[in-house]
Amino acid sequence: MIEISNICKSFDGKTVINNISSKFEPGKTNLIIGASGSGKSVLIKNIVGLFRPDSGDISYNGRDFINADNDTKTEIRREIGMLFQGGALFDSMNVEQNVRFPLDVLTKMPEDEKMDRVNFCLKRVKLENTNKRMPSEISGGMQKRVGIARAIVNNSKYLFCDEPNSGLDPQTSIQIDRLLQEITDESQITTIIVTHDMNSVMEIGEYVMFICNSYKLWEGNNQDIIHSGVQELDDFVFANNMMRRFRELS
């Protein structure tokens, strides 16, 4: 479980995250949603340690992360897998090298075990027979799936995804969403997904946190979201005609 409490973060005097607290449970797909610029990516970067919060606490299974010494931080980070918005694949490496990178650098696993694990993860994300292709030779959706394979190859306990569906068509987006939910369920890992895609919210939002103008305004699940009673959330969720009609029908 990941717990955050009273997280605040400012840049050049502008508050981007304001006193946000929450608990993200394992085995659930936890979604952080909000409009562009609401602070959700900054929040996830605080949680994984890419930014240091101005105040507040973050703990991974009870282990303090912010004030931990370097060794503990490294230990926690090595349990984290992250899928970045653009995939963040190493462009000088092929698919296989990208996926096995964490095993090469962080473990002393024998070569054949590494290859078995890499092939298992690539199969898990339905990318068999792409081992030798370079990131520039595969589609955006495939790059995201390679990113997922790299994030889980080291048996990560915590999986973070920053807008996994950005730039993808609706069908591929749903495939990615379902894949993330299956992986979370199978391995009982703690998954946190930042998104502004309402399809993802309705599809896999077992826990949803809504951020608006740096504040957490609402939390619940995808069943409750349409009856939240929070105006800002309603404006966000029912921004398009299809969702408005859906609300009228329901």
Partner 1 sequence: MRRIGQYILFLGALFRNPESFRTYVKLIFDECIYIGWNSVILVTIISVFIGAVTTVQTAYNIVSPFIPKSVIGLIVRETTISELAPTITAIVFAGKVGSSIAGNLGTMRITEQIDALEVMGINSVSYLVLPKIVATIIVYPMLVVLAAFLGISGGYIASQLTDVVPPPEYIIGLTTQFNPFIVTFALIKSLVFAFTVSSISAFMGYYTKGGALEVGQASTKAVTVSCIAILLGDFLLAQLFLN
Binding footprint of partner 1 on the chain (CB under 8 A): 45, 48-50, 70, 73-78, 80-82, 84-86, 88-91, 102, 104-106, 154, 160
With contact defined as beta carbons under 8 Å apart, do 84 and 50 qualify? no
Q: Among residues 35 and 88, whose Cβ is nearest to partner 1?
A: 88
Radius of gyration of the chain (CA): 18
Q: Among residues 11 and 120, whose Cβ is nearest to partner 1?
A: 11
Q: Among residues 81 and 205, whose Cβ is nearest to partner 1?
A: 81
Minimum CB separation of residue 98 from partner 1 in Å reads 10
Task: Give the number of other CB atoms < 10 A from CB of residue 58.
Answer: 22
Minimum CB separation of residue 142 from partner 1 in Å reads 16
Minimum CB separation of residue 48 from partner 1 in Å reads 5
Q: Among residues 73 and 133, whose Cβ is nearest to partner 1?
A: 73
Q: Among residues 83 and 237, whose Cβ is nearest to partner 1?
A: 83
Minimum CB separation of residue 219 from partner 1 in Å reads 25
Minimum CB separation of residue 82 from partner 1 in Å reads 4
